[in-house]
Structure 1
Amino acid sequence: MLKQRVITALVLVAILLPCLAAEAAWPFAALTLLFISAAGWEWSRLNEAPGARAMLMGAAVAGGCVYLAQVLGLPVWAQSAAVLSTPNLHPHEHGVGLPLAGFSVPAWIWQLAVMLWVLGGAAALKYGTTHWKAVPQLWRRLLGLALLVLAWVALVESKAQGLNYLLSVFCLVWAADIGAYFGGRAFGRRKLAPSISPGKSWEGVWSGMVAVGILAVIWVLVDRHASVDSPSLYSRLLFGLGPIGMVLALVFLSAMSVVGDLFESLIKRQAGAKDSSQLLPGHGGVLDRIDALLPVLPLSLAVMSLCHA
């Protein structure tokens, strides 16, 4: 199993790195579109719609992503992926309903994502263990379509800001997960959601938040003293919201990464599946790898919309 995990990880890194390093936007957009479509296929299978219906779901996710990108004017096919040409920080001035300065997507879309994830996530985690399968298949697939398309659009929007910005969002999720794992093992006493994921604890959640805070401090210092292609999420939040606002935003995003993880665990438990699929040998499926990113990608842009000059 370990050998499989390592080989799969090396292959994924070998494919991903050139796409991240490419000056043009389309290699990264195309690769991530493939992955998000596979996640749509997995979502459909986990929600009692396998076979042709799952393939249709994957195609619908891809089509929805491309259509929304075209409508919003995202730089998916641009020859240069970076919108910002300087690492200097700028105020995030914008009018109501308009995109943030330097961004393409109107802020109201990310604010809508907040309502979808916060209210919907809370309802799913509270009632999902008993009522998830009672929701009609069509509505469950439409929900999956909306969540996956929003995540991909947020991913492309984030990549357009520069590699440093995108990696800072990714590493927030990874730091929260790693901190929760080790903190939960060392201090875990009170179970977070035993009916969904028995291994998670409240102490693990707090440990993950602490890990994110430490990461943010280090990253802000790196932004200030190193040559980076773009300001990180942490520097932007510190500049736009101040220290207290940044802390609150990071606590919120760390908490939502846990919600994303629990939501996918709920769906797998309802489906009687250990993994979302076996597309990634040794790692499970695509959803298993991106579950925490699904809420954090759009919601990180939502908190950015609060950064006014």
Structure 2
Amino acid sequence: MLKQRIITAVVLLLVLGAAMLAPSSWPLLLILLLASSLASWEWLRLTLPASQRALAPYLAVVLAALLLWLSYASFSATPSSESQAILQLIYVYISPLVILFWLLYVPHLIRQAQVQQIQQSVVLSAMGILAPLVTWAALVQMWLSRGLLYVLSVLVLIWVADITAYFVGRAFGKAKLAPRVSPGKTWAGALGGVLGACLWVALSTIWPNTLGTVLYQQWSAVGMVLIAAVLAALSIMGDLFESLLKRRAGVKDSSQLLPGHGGVYDRIDALLPVAPLAMLLGGQVGL
């Protein structure tokens, strides 16, 4: 299992790296499109009622078609006014709604910790479409306005928070963070993840156009650290939220698309809440 996880992770990193370094923007746009639509499909499988679960792949295909059209119509040599209007709607109106969902509603759900199979929520299923949509838009906007180094620094924040939380939790963790949702996570691990993310963001200020550099310029050193802590906490929240959905649905993984890793949603659960806020606080709302 470990060997399979490592091989899959290496392949994914190589594909992502090649797309980021490609002379054309299309490889990265297509990867982001594919990841968002597959994560939406997996999310909907966890939240739609059993009688409506067959709709999940069709809704994911509709999302993929929308993202493909937006990619073609917005980032070609002559962007269409319709696609620009839709993107503006996403950035100005839908993104704040999704951010509030992550900041206010998700912590409430995790605190309640209702892990038994209950009647599925329309809100959670709707967010299975809107959250991946906004994440796609946020990553594209950060990439266009700040560059690949900025996007990469956001991804590294999530990876650092996850890795440090794991090792600190194993070494010092005793008090459970959310035992009914994810028994393996501890308060010590969460604190270690937040501190690790803050250190990474501070270190990243030595390079231009990174998350740390932009936050330092716009929010000062104290603001930079506080925002890094919030983003790291959100990454943990995203992981806990997916664990909650899976426990409610009675499954271990969101799917089996990625050998050794489960589904795409399992891999980007922390990115979904982090990307929109990183875009907003980095001053990149709008076109």
Query: Alpha-carbon deviations, 1:10-41, whole Å to 9, x = none?
Result: 33233222211123222111122112111122
Label 1:281 to 1:301 Cα distance change in 2 as closer, same or farther (>3 A). Answer: same
Between the aligned partners of 1:288 and 1:244, the Cα distance in structure 2 is 32
- Secondary structure at the counterpart of residue 35 of structure 1: helix
Q: 258, 263, 275: which one pairs with 1:280?
A: 258
Determine the C-alpha separation between the residues in 2 that align with 1:131 and 1:236.
42
CA contact (8 A) 1:8 1:280 kept: yes
Deviates further, 275-284 or 297-306 = 297-306
Q: Residues 88-109 of structure 1, C-alpha deviation per residue, up to 9 Å, x if partnerless?
A: xxxxxxxxxxx9xxx9974555
Which of the two has greater helix per residue?
Answer: 2
Describe the superposition over 1:120-177 as per-residue Cα deviations: whole angstroms up to 9, x where unpaired.
21222133516873244x4432121111111111111122221110110001111111
Q: Which residue pairs with 1:211 in the alignment? A: 196
Q: Which residue of 2 aligns with 1:56?
A: 58
- Report 1:119-158 matches (<5 A): 119-127=104-112, 129=114, 133-136=118-121, 138-158=122-142
5 Å matches for 1:184-263?
Answer: 184-223=169-208, 231-263=209-241
Mapped pair 1:180 → 2:165: yes
AA in 1 matched with 2:27: P
Amino acid at match of 2:64: A
Decide whether the 8 Å contact of 1:41 with 1:58 is kept in 2: yes
Q: Distance in 2 between matches of 1:68 and 1:124?
A: 33
RMSD over equivalenced CA pairs, Å: 2.7
Does the CA-based 8 Å contact 1:107-1:302 persist in structure 2?
Answer: no
Contact 1:107–1:305 at 8 Å: present in 2 too? Answer: no
* Residue-by-residue CA offset, 1:166-202 (whole Å, 9 max, x unaligned): 1100011111111111111111122110110011111
CA distance in 2, matches of 1:294, 1:39: 10
Would the alpha carbon gap of residues 60 and 124 (structure 1) be closer, same or farther in structure 2, given more than 3 Å must change? farther
Structure 1 residue 74: deviation in Å?
5.0
**8 A Cα contact 1:104 1:157, kept in partner:** no
Q: 1:284 to 1:306 in 2, by over 3 A?
A: closer
Give ranges in structure 1 of 5+ residues lacking alignment. 80-98, 224-230
Contact 2:90 2:134 in 1 (8 A): no
Does the 8 A contact of 1:169 with 1:300 survive in 2? Answer: yes
Q: Which residue of 2 aligns with 1:21?
A: 21
Secondary structure, counterpart of 1:198 in structure 2: strand
Over 3 Å counting, the alpha-carbon distance change for 1:35 and 1:286 in structure 2 is same
User: For 1:246-275, what per-residue CA distance to the aligned partner results, in whole angstroms no more than 9, with x for missing partners?
Assistant: 111111111111110100000011111111
CA distance in 2: counterparts of 1:283 and 1:207, whole angstroms: 23
How many pairs are equivalent?
274
- Closer, same or farther: CA 304–104 of 1 in aligned 2, 3 Å: farther
Q: What amino acid is aligned across from residue 62 of structure 1 in structure 2?
A: A
Contact 2:117 2:250 in 1 (8 A): no
Separation in structure 2 between the aligned mates of residue 128 and residue 65 of structure 1, nearest angstrom = 33
Question: Quick one: structure 1 residues 284 and 135, their matched pair in 2 at CA, closer, same or farther if it must change by over 3 Å?
Answer: closer
TM (normalized to structure 2)?
A: 0.85
The answer for unaligned runs of 5 or more in structure 2 is 79-86
- Letter in structure 2 aligned against 1:263: F
Structure 1 Cα separation of the partners of residues 70 and 180 of structure 2: 36
